[in-house]
A = this chain, B = another copy of it.
Amino acid sequence: MEAREILMKFKNNEMTLEEAEHYFRKQPFEEMEYAKLDSHREIRSGFPEVIYCSGKADEHFVKIFQRLYEDNGEVLGTRASRHQYELVKELFPQTVYEEICHIIKIEKPDKERIGNIAVCTAGTADIPVAEEAAQVAEYFGSHVTRIFDVGVSGIHRLLSRLDDIQSANCVVAVAGMEGALASVLGGLVDKPVIAVPTSVGYGASMNGLSALLTMINSCANGIAVVNIDNGYGAGYIATQINRMGCRKLD
């Protein structure tokens, strides 16, 4: 709808002031002193706002947590410390802290989950990042199948779980060190593979940069990459894809 059209409708009383204003108003977010909460976000993107907890001042963290919980009836924070957990636990005893992936959350009970995302890791040390992806995807309403420790140096472990992997709407491949898992998966499935390099490794792994380069250079098709250790980002985009995959086929 063009501006001209709106203006005319408003003038002709086919539209109220509030309706017209809605199209042009400037502030679809809630101004706090230290941050701008994105209150239109769920409408715009289909996902509620999530807190990136790391580095937030105590006072700010608690207020944002509280506000989001009051707005949505549930809330999720990533990269939370145990200290931050203890802060909000006093206010909301139902808060849960997932130590392995540093997620803090209050989740609505009996949430329905749809579809399926396969979250795979190369080794056991990649599990924290994989859990972040899995729990974020679950919070956003996806079913998740966890398939851990199936790295390419023992390819038979991966092949034994092929059915589970191939039946998912989206595959998340979490791997540090050489990161070859994504390429092998890309050649075995017909769904998008979201690759997550991890900072697991030593020496020339350069905190995940080597794995990132491996994945970006993959010669397999249907692979795209998110940032090192970015389980959250992988869980988010995998959920976008999973939601599409749950539509009914003709």
Task: Report which A residues bind B (CB closer than 8 A).
Answer: 2-4, 6-8, 10-11, 17, 20-21, 24-29, 34-36, 38, 41, 44-47, 55-56, 60, 122-125, 127, 148-157, 159-160, 169, 177-180, 183-184, 186-192, 194-195, 197, 199-206, 208-230, 233-234, 236-237, 240-241, 244-245, 247-250
Contacts and interface: CB of A to CB of B under 8 A. Distances in A.
A65 to B, nearest CB: 14
5 contacts: A4-B25, A29-B157, A202-B228, A214-B214, A224-B224
Copies of this protein in the complex: 8
A182 to B, nearest CB: 8
B217 A148 contact: no
A202 B208 CA distance: 11
B203 A208 contact: yes
Residue in A156, A197, A212 with the greatest tally of chain B CB atoms within 10 Å: A156
B152 A187 contact: yes
Contact of A125 (B55, B218, B248): B55
Given A11-B10, A213-B204, A248-B249, A226 B223 contact: yes
Contacts of A210: 210, 213-214, 216-217
B214 A153 contact: no
Contact of A214 (B178, B203, B229): B178
B228 A204 contact: yes
Given A36-B157, A155-B187, A240-B191, A227 B248 contact: no
Nearest to A122: B219
B248 A222 contact: no
A221 B236 contact: yes
